[in-house]
């Protein structure tokens, strides 16, 4: 489960790498077309497995707002678990159907009251045509296009870097790694626009507010400068990672003569986060 969650975290890179390595053009086209949909169209969460049909299993979202028809692999989902049951799973599109990633975690039995509610939702979906049997296709060609770097180095950034650079002398620690990780990528997840600075021991060195919802060059430079001048930080990590890809290249350009390098910190997928927490609790 943890491995699968990690696959989702790095799915974009995996798709691009395998696409290059696949020898057959026809296989490449099918592969990239279908797998790229999993980046934006997979649905992860808790569902009710309700009833098997000849053409799949009726799966209802936890909030009872959507009913899916999901195909099993060699057998219907109800042949593996007693129905109805509440589970955690990930629904995936494949061609004109919906399937899943072969991982289903039982959550709890379904009460008689809830079964009655689910039955009404399923019957309504059959009547009004809202049963979801497929997801619309997407423009998969864009998955291979490199992301455009929209973060530019401003004059203020350059001035701040000129102030910071001489202060780094003798402080860069080759054994230290820092990660800049946001509390969340949306306003709902991160209303205070906070970002954490974490070392390679998993310790949070500081939390501080960003200027905007996404981190900027000024956030990084001013924090390091403040750490040295105000907090008397004696060691600066030689290796750093940020969870916002557009920052990586401009930061590397600014720091290229210092020996400090930046890379992308991949934000864990919901599946990977759940798996990590699941094994901690169990």
Which band of pLDDT confidence, cut at 50, 70 and 90, is reported for residue 12? Answer: confident
How many Å apart are CA 180 and CA 231, to the nearest integer?
Answer: 18
Over range 194-209, report the average pLDDT.
91
State the pLDDT at residue 248.
Answer: 93
State the pLDDT at residue 102.
Answer: 86
Closest listed residue to residue 125, CA positions, set 68, 83, 43, 45: 68
> If one looks up domain 155-271 in CATH, what number appears?
3.30.420
Q: What is the DSSP letter of 12?
A: H
Q: Which residues contact 42 (CB under 8 A, 6 or more apart)?
A: 8, 90, 91, 92, 93, 101
| pLDDT exceeds cutoff 70 at 129 | yes
Domain ranges of the chain: 2-144, 155-271
State the pLDDT at residue 13.
Answer: 72
Cα atoms found within 13 Å of the Cα of residue 256, Cβ hemisphere only: 7
What is the pTM (predicted TM-score) of this model?
A: 0.61
Closest listed residue to residue 58, CA positions, set 136, 117, 131, 135: 131
Per-residue model confidence as pLDDT tens digits over 155-200 = 999 999 999 999 999 999 999 999 999 988 778 778 999 999 999 8
């Amino acid at each position: 489960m943890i491995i699968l969650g990690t696959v989702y975290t790095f799915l974009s890179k995996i798709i691009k790498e395998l696409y290059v390595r696949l020898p057959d053009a026809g296989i490449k086209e099918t592969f990239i077309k279908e797998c790229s949909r999993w980046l934006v169209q997979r649905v992860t969460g808790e569902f009710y497995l309700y009833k098997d049909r000849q053409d799949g299993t009726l799966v209802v979202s936890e909030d009872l707002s959507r009913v899916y028809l999901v195909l099993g692999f060699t057998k219907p989902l109800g042949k593996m678990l007693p129905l109805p049951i509440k589970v955690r799973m990930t629904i995936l599109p494949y061609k004109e159907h919906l399937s899943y990633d072969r991982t289903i975690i039982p959550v709890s039995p379904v009460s008689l009251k809830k079964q009655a509610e689910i039955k009404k939702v399923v019957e309504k979906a059959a009547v009004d045509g809202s049963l979801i049997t497929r997801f619309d296709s997407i423009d998969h060609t864009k998955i291979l296009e490199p992301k455009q770097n929209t973060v530019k180095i401003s004059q203020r950034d350059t001035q701040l870097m000129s102030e910071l650079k001489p202060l780094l002398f003798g402080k860069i620690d080759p054994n230290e790694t820092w990660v800049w990780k946001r509390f969340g990528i949306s306003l709902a997840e991160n209303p205070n626009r906070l970002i954490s600075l974490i070392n390679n021991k998993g310790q949070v060195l500081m939390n501080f507010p960003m200027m905007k919802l996404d981190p900027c060059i000024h956030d990084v430079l001013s924090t390091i400068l403040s750490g040295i001048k105000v907090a008397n930080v004696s060691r600066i990590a030689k290796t750093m990672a940020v969870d916002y890809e557009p920052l990586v290249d401009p930061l590397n350009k600014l720091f290229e003569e210092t020996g400090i390098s930046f890379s992308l910190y991949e934000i864990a997928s919901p599946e990977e986060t759940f798996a990590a927490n699941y094994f901690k609790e169990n």
